Homo-oligomer: A and B are copies of this chain.
Amino acid sequence: MYLCGMNTTDTRERILHQMFTDIRKNGFQGLRADKVVADMGITKGALYHYFSNKQEIGTAVLDEIIRPNYLAAFRRLDQHAGDPITFLQEHIDHLAQAATEEDIALGCPLNNLAQEMSPLDETFRLRMKHIVEQIEHSVAAALERGKVNGYVREDADSKALGRFFFSSIEGAYSMAKVIKSAEAFRQNMQLLKTFLQVYRL
């Protein structure tokens, strides 16, 4: 081998990414771990070398793929000093724009996993709860800063709005997934933007 040590970990990442893709379509219970790696041309030996069991595959997908992907935007929001409503509206625009028909048909990875696994595995649920609460808190804190800086109406309930913001996005993903329409998703994102407008000062 020409690779110098470090890149051997590449196999683990490849497996993980493929698991993510498969879970997104089939769900965690529908995931057939051995089939996935077989389709990649590798064997169970490699799989169980990197992951000790199926649940660990799930948590790794959650921690290493889903979580960072979701929190990136809100980490930016945490360090954003300007108008939070504009930031959120732009984020909504970004989601609307980025959503392909395939993305919509497969649904939001976090929401998929959350809906399936919350009643079945408390480990999963708590991990996902943490992500959701971090997002809600990030939005709420930004709105509070927005009040201080004169961007947001004083009577806005920041915590409730943070909740509603994220819930609406996830709801839009959910329904768009069922009716298989990216346009429906964009329509909902548009309405969410106008709703945020109400709280502008």
A contacts, CB < 8 Å to B: 25-27, 29-30, 105-107, 111-112, 114-116, 118-120, 125, 128-129, 132-133, 157, 159-161, 163-164, 166-172, 174-175, 177-180, 184, 187-188, 190-192, 195, 198
Query: Would A107 and B119 count as touching, CB distance under 8 A?
Result: yes
Total copies of this chain within the assembly: 2
Contact yes or no, A129 B167, CB < 8 A: no
Q: Contact: B170 with A166, CB < 8 Å?
A: no
Q: List, in ascending order, chain B residues with CB within 8 A of A106's CB.
A: 119
A128 to B, closest residue via Cβ: B178
- Known contacts A125-B178, A164-B172, then 7 further A-B pairs from the complex at CB < 8 Å, ordered by chain A residue: A26-B119, A106-B119, A164-B191, A164-B192, A167-B171, A167-B175, A195-B195
Closest 6 CB pairs of A and B: A171-B171, A167-B171, A167-B175, A164-B191, A114-B178, A170-B171
Distance in angstroms from A148 CB to nearest chain B CB is: 22
A118 to B26, CA, bound (A): 10
B119, A115: Cβ atoms closer than 8 Å: no
Query: Is there contact, CB below 8 Å, between B129 and A180?
Result: yes
27 contacts between A and B (CB under 8 A): A25-B119, A26-B119, A27-B116, A27-B120, A29-B29, A111-B115, A115-B115, A115-B174, A115-B177, A118-B180, A125-B180, A157-B191, A160-B188, A160-B190, A161-B191, A163-B188, A164-B168, A164-B172, A164-B187, A167-B168, A168-B168, A168-B171, A170-B171, A170-B175, A171-B172, A174-B174, A195-B198
